[in-house]
């Protein structure tokens, strides 16, 4: 039976997911990928490590699933915004500068001061976006900049490895600050304003369209019997939306991954950059989505776990099953700055209210609450654009915690749906579905469907009012701290 491969290139690793023609998951594999932080605020990866991880994942799947030889389609999902720089011979010029790298914050501010960028791209030029990275490169590594023939996002680089062609998709390209999100194509004006050329950009297709065919030498090495179609693919959040079936206006999800996201599908393009909400093309034709982004979500819990020397699951388990009222400690979850709604790269995390009697459980509780309040801040920013989600799917590692999901539902004041089969596979499953669409030409509505095995988590009515008041206090503290950072004062 035919099968379809979704590849999800995240910051910490690459996941491969195989589905059959009916969309059921038949195989999965994962390989970790190292991240380098050579200076404060820098975050890089070697593209060669991505390729090694891809080949490792394919070998795992071949060994575990006899039907791999019937592979017919591939879709790639990738961490967004990364600058992978290729010379005229196809060689990588330097490590990829990742989405969470903030070195180009001055360049981002300079580009963002030009009204054309917000008007055409529909978004603030955030420090993590691609365009300011190239502006930084021009000034700091001019010899490398002079040799740049192509700028590829991480998913597009995997497409290049798979097909031999420089091709990406519109959802991923939306985070470069070079895309006209209304016209769904590169903006010659924005490229010129940042000193770049259209010839340095990859060809763009819709995520569900054909990007190319798997290179014959790879097909032979992988033992594949027939031609394999590679889809345009998607940025990670658009792929997650495809995995969750987020098609209709208002359908949404909240992600408790390393970073945090609240996203909502939109049936029209309604950018509102003044809110610091991201407005991107969907991976599917004639659709868009909007999202608020926290640069650190579950990473806050991971940080605390490393600090106290206990696994995150153990820390959360110590809170018990019953939802507590808001704790006395306030935590601002800004380990790596923040995008929505503050757009402040130098904002930092901090606790307020720790006393002599405060213990590890109190700090865990504060961290979970702080991240939840940060996501509520994102939800309110989305609502300011006209988005009106009535319920959200929860995805990401943090969604495995019943306590955290119950807390989040209460803080957001919305029902949250959890799918056991899809919560952990959203982006990879969405990528596999895009591979199926490109290979078969199936109807989008037949493939991009919501989960069937959902479990509903309702807000805890006994604590909704208390957490709403606590959120107001959190928001006041976060706004005051952000203003202090803008004045050059300490970040917490």
Catalytically active residues are 236
Cα of 3 vs its chain's centroid, Å: 26
Cα of 136 vs its chain's centroid, Å: 23
Collapse the DSSP code of 108 into the 3-class scheme (helix H, G, I; strand E, B; otherwise coil) and give the result.
Answer: helix
Helix (H) or strand (E) holding 32, with range, is strand 25-32
Could you tell me which of 367, 454, 450 has the C-alpha nearest to residue 403?
367
The total of other beta-carbon atoms located within 10 Å of residue 47's CB is 21
d(CA 340, CA 382): 10
d(CA 314, CA 180): 46
Contact 71, 5 (CB under 8 A): yes
Q: How far is CA 388 from CA 171, 263, 414, in A?
A: 21, 11, 11
d(CA 299, CA 259): 7
Which residues are CB-neighbours of 178 under 8 A, at least 6 positions away? 121, 130, 131, 186, 187, 190, 191, 194, 196, 201
Collapse the DSSP code of 228 into the 3-class scheme (helix H, G, I; strand E, B; otherwise coil) and give the result.
Answer: coil
423 burial via Cβ count (<10 Å: 0-12, 13-18, 19+):
buried
Q: What share of the chain is helix, strand, coil (3-state, %, to 5)?
A: 40, 20, 40
User: Distance between terminal CA atoms of the chain?
Assistant: 56
Q: How far is CA 155 from CA 51, 152, 170, 214, 425, in A?
A: 11, 8, 12, 15, 17
Q: How far is CA 120 from CA 269, 279, 282, 437, in A?
A: 12, 11, 17, 30
Collapse the DSSP code of 380 into the 3-class scheme (helix H, G, I; strand E, B; otherwise coil) and give the result.
Answer: helix
The beta strand positions in 233-329, using DSSP E, are: 234-235, 252-256, 260-266, 278-281, 288-294
Helix (H) or strand (E) holding 41, with range, is none
Could you tell me which of 293, 316, 418 has the C-alpha nearest to residue 365?
316
User: Which residue intervals of 76-232 are DSSP H helices?
Assistant: 105-112, 115-121, 130-140, 142-146, 154-163, 170-173, 188-193, 216-222
């Amino acid at each position: 039976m035919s099968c379809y491969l979704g590849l999800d290139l995240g910051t910490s690793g690459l996941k491969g997911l195989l589905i059959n023609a009916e969309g059921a998951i038949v195989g999965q594999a994962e390989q970790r990928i190292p991240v380098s932080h050579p200076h404060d605020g820098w975050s890089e990866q070697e593209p060669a490590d991505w390729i090694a991880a891809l080949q490792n994942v394919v070998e795992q799947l071949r060994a575990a699933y006899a039907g791999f030889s019937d592979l017919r389609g591939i879709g790639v999902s990738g961490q967004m915004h990364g600058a992978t720089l290729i010379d005229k011979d196809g060689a990588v010029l330097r490590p990829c500068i990742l989405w969470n790298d903030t070195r180009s914050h001055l360049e981002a501010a300079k580009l963002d001061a030009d009204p054309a960028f917000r008007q055409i791209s529909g978004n603030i030029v955030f420090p993590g976006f691609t365009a300011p990275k190239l502006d930084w490169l021009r000034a700091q590594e001019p010899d490398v900049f002079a040799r740049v023939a192509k700028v590829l996002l991480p998913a597009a680089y995997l497409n290049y490895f798979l097909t031999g062609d420089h091709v990406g998709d519109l959802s991923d390209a939306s985070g470069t600050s070079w895309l006209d999100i209304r016209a769904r194509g590169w903006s010659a004006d924005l490229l010129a304003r940042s000193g770049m050329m259209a010839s340095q950009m990859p060809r763009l297709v819709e995520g569900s369209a054909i990007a190319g065919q798997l290179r014959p030498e790879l097909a032979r090495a992988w033992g594949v019997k027939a031609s394999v179609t590679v889809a345009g693919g998607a940025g990670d959040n658009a792929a997650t939306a495809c995995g969750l079936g987020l098609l209709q206006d208002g359908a949404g999800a909240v992600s408790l991954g390393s970073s945090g996201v609240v996203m909502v599908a939109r049936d029209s393009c309604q950018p509102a950059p003044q809110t610091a909400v991201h407005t991107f093309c969907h991976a599917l034709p004639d659709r868009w989505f909007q999202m608020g982004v926290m640069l650190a979500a579950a990473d806050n819990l991971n940080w605390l776990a490393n600090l106290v020397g206990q696994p995150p699951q153990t820390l959360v388990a110590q809170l018990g099953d019953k939802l507590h009222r808001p704790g006395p400690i306030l935590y601002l979850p800004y380990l790596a700055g923040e995008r929505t709604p503050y757009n402040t790269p130098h904002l930092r995390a901090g606790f307020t209210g720790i006393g002599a009697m405060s213990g590890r459980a109190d700090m865990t509780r504060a961290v979970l609450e702080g991240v939840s309040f940060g996501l509520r801040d994102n939800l309110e920013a989305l609502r300011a654009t006209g988005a009106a989600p009535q319920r959200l799917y929860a995805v990401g590692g943090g969604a495995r915690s019943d306590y955290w999901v119950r807390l989040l539902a209460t803080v957001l004041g919305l029902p949250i749906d959890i799918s056991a089969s899809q919560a952990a596979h959203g982006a990879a499953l969405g990528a596999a579905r895009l591979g199926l669409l490109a290979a078969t030409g199936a109807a989008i509505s037949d493939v991009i469907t919501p989960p069937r095995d959902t479990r509903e988590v309702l807000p805890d009515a006994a604590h909704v009012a208390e957490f709403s008041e606590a959120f107001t206090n959190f928001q006041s503290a976060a706004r005051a701290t952000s203003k202090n950072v803008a004045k050059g004062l300490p970040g917490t």
